[in-house]
Chain A
């Protein structure tokens, strides 16, 4: 006999929400810091402490925080397993949140002791999370979802361990010229290894589920994971050996992996039964072609204008145009879904109970996304052309749109 949601199920919803809303608030803070300091980025100086703080608040405070909360909810659904160590979840949140906040503040004031101490705390929070997730997925059925999630967790661990290595170098210099090399590997592991493989792995479940897609060809999915994984290591070896041809080859393999993922998603969409799928899912699937086109266009523009690859603008596009936009898209779907299930799941279909589609105003959402995406394009273009003031103006617009988006999400909890 199947019963109504248990207290554990209800608790399930509070846990991801805490992570998600912490992440959204920290994202806004990060974008405010970036608004004040984007001039340095426009001048090609990404290593300025305030920018490092904004980057870490965005990647650790927002993207990883949200990913952790979402994974506590999604991994059991996607892989049909139960969380192995539920009691670790809230302590892990506290450990990680304290670590990230302290680390970000330490970077702002560039206090090397703070950076080291809170870096260790952050890494500890991540290790607890990775241990929990690895234990949880161990018995799951093999396939591209499990592979993507497993590899993503591995790269998360490597990213933060590298980050700690770099933080300790600030505290007691010992890496010399290797600092910059490892910094590049750190960015690669984080953006492509952790975030991209996670997004790709989970989307193999989420996209067909929310578009009601069946009987599609699925070989491009595993291929995309293998190519991106291989590409990461080839690129890394290229960085370590300082062989530009090798790192470019690795980047090309990663790009091929992205294209395979795009093909796979197209096959899912071509076989969908739901003609009109939700705005959030549309945005999250749009983020990939959008980022690839923008990377190509702005990369070419920068090369033509300055005879150099505009690395800060491209990294900005990967972090905001790809990773953050995908997350915003999925959250637009996931937050109302989770909240409705928590608040109305037991009374679904009864008089006076709102429908799932009533939880979010898609018309208003379209405007927020248009402003967010438009701002990203304008900011990235301003960074390539070195126009600091314009970049700042558009970044302020982006901050306002992010705040509006966060308020929109918070309003769901009032319904």
Chain B
């Protein structure tokens, strides 16, 4: 059985290919909903509107969720509001990019 916390841990395996940092530490995950049938809805954004890697990241999320739940009945919803800002990153992400700037 998975819950929001477990899904968050799973999403830490999804790495932004350009930045080399997971999407949770990047602050891209806005919301997680786990339904009774163990299907998951992830609400997320990207660092740049129109980012060409959005398909790649979404595919990776679906892959990780499928590995964890055994099925593909999940949704990734891409939103642009609120707009992503660097303050949403974790300290670990900031340090990985620039030593804590």
Contact = CB atoms under 8 A, between A and B. Distances in A.
Given A275-B98, A349-B14, A5 B19 contact: no
Contact of B63 (A79, A205, A340, A350): A350
Interface in B60-78: 60, 62-64, 75-78
Contacts of A2: 54-55, 58, 75-78
B94 A78 contact: no
B47 A349 contact: no
Question: Interface residue tally of chain B, by bracket?
Answer: 35 or more
B98 A80 contact: no
Interface stretch (A206-214, A233-241, A371-379): A206-214
Interface string A208-229: 1110101100000000000000
Contacts of B63: 347, 349-350
Contacts of A73: 52
Nearest to A213: B86
B62 to A, nearest CB: 8
B15 interface: yes
Interface string B11-55: 001110111100000000000000000000000000111111111
Contacts of A341: 52-53, 55-56
Given A209-B48, A340-B17, A350-B63, A273 B97 contact: yes
B101 interface: yes
B17 A273 contact: no
Contact of B19 (A214, A274, A346): A274
Contacts of A340: 17
Contacts of A4: 55, 58-59, 62
Nearest to B77: A2
B59 A345 contact: yes
A1 B75 contact: yes
A108 B87 CA distance: 58
A208 B58 CA distance: 22
A346 B66 CA distance: 14
B59 A5 contact: yes
Interface string A322-357: 000000000000000100110001111110000111
B50 A80 contact: yes
A355 B64 CA distance: 17
Nearest to A356: B17
A209 B58 contact: no
Contacts of A208: 48
B85 interface: yes
Contacts of B59: 4-5, 345-346, 348
17 contacts: A2-B58, A2-B76, A5-B56, A5-B59, A73-B52, A76-B50, A77-B51, A209-B47, A275-B101, A337-B52, A341-B53, A345-B55, A348-B15, A348-B17, A348-B59, A349-B14, A355-B20
Interface of A: 1-5, 9, 73, 76-80, 205, 208-210, 212, 214-215, 273-275, 337, 340-341, 345-350, 355-357
